[in-house]
Amino acid sequence: MNVAAEMPGMEPTAEDLVSSALSKFRAGDTVSTRAMLDAIHRSSPSCEDTDDHLVELIVMAAVGKTMGIVFDHRSPDERLSHLS
């Protein structure tokens, strides 16, 4: 039983949002961090967690479900700035 789903006006937690987005995949599937972030932001535009925090949650949950992860959520400019 999901108590949060039964409480009117309660916002889902970041963990709930990640779990919901990952529920569409199976063990052995590969998930895109960009697609996961897009799905999370579409389902909860008011989510205040940073993308970095959400990616951390995605990785922990996906690895636990033996899913592969493609880290494609950063723009080319952001990737280059992290290398310098």
Residue 2 lies in a domain: no
> Would you call 82 exposed, middle or buried from its count of C-beta atoms within 10 A (0-12, 13-18, 19+)?
exposed
Domains in the chain, number: 1
Q: What gap in Å lies between CA 45 and CA 38, rounded to an integer?
A: 10
**Is 38 part of a structural domain of the chain?**
yes
Range of the domain at 74: 13-83
Over the chain (84 residues), the average pLDDT of each successive run of 10 is 55 95 96 97 95 97 96 75 59
For residue 3, being part of any structural domain is answered with: no
pTM of the model: 0.77
User: What are the backbone dihedrals phi and psi of residue 43, each rounded to the nearest 5 degrees, phi first?
Assistant: -75, -25
Residue 1 lies in a domain: no
